[in-house]
Each structure stands twice: as C-alpha cells, then as structure tokens.
C-alpha cells in the first residue's frame, strides 16, 4: 500500500506541478483586482512550446543543447527521493538527502553551463548571480535536513519525514518550525520568486534565473519550464512535510493531505509576491544569511 501511495504521489506530481504556477498567478491577479490568466495557462504554454522548433546560435555547442535535458532529468531523479509527508519516496537509501541536494546542484550547474556557452554577457551575468545566491541557499537546505536527521535519528529522507511530529519526539516541534521558516526562504530563492527574483520580468539588468534561458526556445524552453515547476513542487513538498503536523497512518490520506498542503504553499507564494517588493540584489544574501542563522540556532537547540 505504501509503495502504491508513493507511485500515486509521483504520478500526481508529474501531472499537477505546472498547476502551482497557475495558482500563484491567479492569487496575484486576485490581490491586484484583475481577472488574470486561466488557471491552466502553464499547461497551454508547455503544449505550445512542445509544438515549436528550437533555434541554436552558431556560437553554442552541444553543452547548450544538453542543458535543458540534463536539468529536467536531475530534477525528476530528485522527485523520486522526496517523501509525501509520512509516505516515503520511491527511491530511498541512506544519505539520500545529500544525493538529492547534489542532483539539484547538477540542475543549476548544467543551466549555468548552457548560459555561459552562448557567449552572451547578459546570460553570464545571470549565471553569476544564480551561483552567488546558491552558495548560501544550498548550505541552508543541507543544514536544515541535517538538523532533522539528528533529531529523528534517521539518515534517509523518507525516515526523517515519517518520524516528524510523533509523540516520541515531540520536543522536535520547535526545531521543525524554525527549519520550515528557513526552507520557505530557500524555496523562494531556488525558484527565483519574489522577493529574490521576478519570473515575469524581461529587463536583463535585473533578471537572475530568467536571463539564463533567454536563448532557449521551443522544446528546450518547455523542458526548462516544466523542470522549474517540478522543482517548485519538490521544495513545496519538503516544506509541507515539516510544517503540517499530521501523520494519519493511512498512506493515501497522507498523500492527499500533502498535496493540499503543496497547493496551499502556492497560494502562500502568491500572497508573498503580492505583498512584497523585490529586494535589491545586495539584500538577497542578507536574507539568506538570516535563514542560515536560524538554521544554525536550530542545530544548537537539537545538540544542547
């Protein structure tokens, strides 16, 4: 039953992940008093891009063509590891959360390489900014997972999330709240959302992630956008698994609760983007340092 629930969660992840972008856009439209684009617009965009061809610059090499495929593959492998609340992921082994972090790092690495391969100074600038913020964000992610691993005495992600919010480790509750706050910051950073980046802007001097994919089009851009939606789902699942103190013991019910929580995270991101302005680039590392500081505080709490 547990394996079946994991398969169902994986299937729903692959199908529903673009819906998160639609929910965010509709939430922002609601706050702005606009009708907004259709909820399923991300699906329409992906279908339209899949029907188009790709144009490659004469200065680019096979690195540029491989970037979108490798990036999407790495994210999909990471999705196999992420549990659905108390329901484990399909791919689970000792230290798998470290492997997941490296797989996500590979996604960024190949995207940066593809941006650099174009020879465009704007894409190189965006790649530089992306790597600069990732240096801190990846540390926060790994340290937060390490804190939970120490608290639950588990060394795989499925075991960590299955052990959270149980009566036997109730003192871990305050630490989970702290780590959840840090993971929310990482989610906004890794997915290039406000206040870190504005995914809807097209001003090269202020873009971070979007500027790296300016030369991509057609199927390649569809892979990048779909990979971005999967990545948003992944970080939302990590956050929901910590933030929602509910383990019913019924795998299918836990999966449903987890998915509802992920959709709620999309609404939360839309609210944040509606109520906050984008930070200056120099202030983004400061925000990440705050997240790192509270994660270190959680580590000291659990080790005391």
pLDDT value of residue 167: 52
Encode burial over 289-302: b for 16+ CB neighbours within 10 A, e otherwise.
eebbebbbebbeeb
> What pLDDT, in 10s, does the model give residues 155-187?
889 888 887 876 555 557 788 889 999 999 999
pLDDT value of residue 76: 94
Segment 202-225 shows an average pLDDT of 80
> What pLDDT, in 10s, does the model give residues 97-134?
999 999 999 999 999 999 889 888 888 888 888 888 88
Residue 254 clears pLDDT 90, i.e. is over it: no
Lowest-confidence segment of 8-12, 82-86, 281-285 by average pLDDT? 82-86
Residue 91 clears pLDDT 90, i.e. is over it: no
> What pLDDT, in 10s, does the model give residues 33-42?
888 889 999 9
Distance CA 3, CA 89 (A): 8
Task: Report helix, strand or coil for 279.
Answer: coil
Mean per-residue pLDDT of the chain: 87
> What pLDDT, in 10s, does the model give residues 278-299?
888 888 889 999 999 999 999 9
**Residue pointed to by tokens 């965009």:** 45
Kindly list the domain boundaries of the chain, sorted by start residue. Answer: 2-303
Both structure tokens of 291: 């997240």
Task: Report helix, strand or coil for 86.
Answer: coil
Both structure tokens of 277: 């302005």
> What pLDDT, in 10s, does the model give residues 229-245?
999 999 999 999 888 87
Q: Give the model's confidence band at 251: pLDDT under 50 very low, under 70 low, under 90 confident, else very high.
A: confident
Distance CA 65, CA 62 (A): 5
Nearest CA among 267, 270, 265, 240 for reference residue 255: 240
pLDDT value of residue 72: 94
Residue 153 clears pLDDT 80, i.e. is over it: yes
pLDDT value of residue 276: 85
Whole-prediction pTM value?
A: 0.92
């Amino acid at each position: 039953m547990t394996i079946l629930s994991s398969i169902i969660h994986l299937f729903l992840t692959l199908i529903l992940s673009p819906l998160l972008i639609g929910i965010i856009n509709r939430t922002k439209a609601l706050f702005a008093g606009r009708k907004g684009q259709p909820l399923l617009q991300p699906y329409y965009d992906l279908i339209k891009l899949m029907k188009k061809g790709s144009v490659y610059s004469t200065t680019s090499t096979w690195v540029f063509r491989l970037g979108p495929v490798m990036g999407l593959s790495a994210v999909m492998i990471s999705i196999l590891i992420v549990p659905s609340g108390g329901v484990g992921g399909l791919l689970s082994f000792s230290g798998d959360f470290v492997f997941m972090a490296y797989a996500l790092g590979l996604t960024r690495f190949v995207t940066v390489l593809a941006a650099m391969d174009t020879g465009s100074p704007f894409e190189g600038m965006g790649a530089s900014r992306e790597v600069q913020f990732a240096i801190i964000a990846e540390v926060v992610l790994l340290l937060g997972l390490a804190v939970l691993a120490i608290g639950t005495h588990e060394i795989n992600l499925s075991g960590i999330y299955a052990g959270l919010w149980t009566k036997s480790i109730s003192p871990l509750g305050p630490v989970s709240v702290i780590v959840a706050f840090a993971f929310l910051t990482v989610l906004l950073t890794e997915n290039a959302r406000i206040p870190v980046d504005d995914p809807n802007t097209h001003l090269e001097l202020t873009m971070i992630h979007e500027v790296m994919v300016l030369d991509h089009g057609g199927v390649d851009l569809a892979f990048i956008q779909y990979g971005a939606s999967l990545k948003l789902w992944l970080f939302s699942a990590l956050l929901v698994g910590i933030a929602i103190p509910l383990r019913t013991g019924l795998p299918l019910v836990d999966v449903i609760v987890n998915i509802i929580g992920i959709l709620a995270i999309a609404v939360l991101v839309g609210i944040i983007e509606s109520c906050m302005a984008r930070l200056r680039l120099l202030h983004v590392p400061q925000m990440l340092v705050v997240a790192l500081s509270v994660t270190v505080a959680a580590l000291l709490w659990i080790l005391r």
